[in-house]
A and B are shown apart, each in its own frame.
Chain A
């Protein structure tokens, strides 16, 4: 089975440009998570969806960040305009919605560099 698929794997852009990161969760999983990983702050949960509905977006840094999940098989994280401090690895993860599994399946991440 295919795991969580993220694209692009690497993105280099200039400050002020729009960045869109994409995620395809594992088929049948109904929860989807966007995490950001930096050296300074570690892994931070940005937002998570359950059944395509955003449940908790309290980790989204500011209005420049937005996330959507138009259907069960696709999600996007958009940064507009991007800033150098947004440089990080962005991970998407999916899971079955019940905590009795407790297992998040992570994609390989999208490494973003904003110059």
Chain B
């Protein structure tokens, strides 16, 4: 079965600093990979996704992520964090033939210091 690991439970960065959130997956074939963001009291919203092709994918709100097969990773990055980026971020994996059934990581809570 596929799984996702987000090793960082909490991360704090200063506004304007760069950000990298880590995600590692386990799956025997090429997975479909996603990053979602959850603001307090809200549901999850898709930031970006990787299916195939270019391993560097761009998303909304200035986020990007890079798929590295050799490291089984799909880390999320942003060059300059804004205070409004404070939220919880979830990495997720889907599999071929799995419909839209996704397995989510446990999330990383991002705090932004002004």
Q: Do A and B associate with each other?
A: yes
Q: Is the CB of B99 within 8 A of A43?
A: no
> A93 at interface (Cβ–Cβ under 8 A)?
yes
Chain B nearest CB from A37 CB (Å) reads 9
Partner of A97 from B41, B51, B90, B99 at Cβ < 8 Å: B99
Count of residues in A whose CB is under 8 Å from the partner chain: 27
Q: Which chain A residues in 48-64 approach chain B with CB under 8 Å?
A: 48, 50, 55-56
Q: Which chain B residues in 58-114 approach chain A with CB under 8 Å?
A: 90, 94, 96, 98-107
By a CB distance below 8 angstroms, the chain A residues around B90 are 43
Chain A nearest CB from B44 CB (Å) reads 5
Chain A nearest CB from B67 CB (Å) reads 14
Q: Is the CB of A42 within 8 A of B101?
A: no
Given contacts A100-B51, A102-B94, A103-B49, contact A45 B100 (CB under 8 A): no
Residue of B whose beta carbon sits closest to that of A97: B99
A4→B104 CA distance, assembly (Å): 19
Chain A nearest CB from B72 CB (Å) reads 19
Residue of B whose beta carbon sits closest to that of A103: B46
By a CB distance below 8 angstroms, the chain B residues around A33 are 100-101
Partner of A108 from B32, B42, B51, B105 at Cβ < 8 Å: B42
Q: Is the CB of B106 within 8 A of A45?
A: no
A95→B96 CA distance, assembly (Å): 16
By a CB distance below 8 angstroms, the chain A residues around B34 are 102
Chain B nearest CB from A47 CB (Å) reads 10
Q: Is the CB of A104 within 8 A of B100?
A: yes
Chain B nearest CB from A93 CB (Å) reads 7
By a CB distance below 8 angstroms, the chain B residues around A101 are 100
Q: Can you list 11 A-B pairs, Cβ within 8 angstroms, ordered by A? A: A4-B43, A33-B101, A42-B105, A42-B107, A98-B99, A99-B99, A101-B100, A102-B49, A104-B102, A108-B41, A108-B43
Given contacts A42-B106, A103-B46, A104-B44, 5 further A-B contacts (CB under 8 A): A31-B99, A91-B43, A99-B94, A99-B98, A100-B51
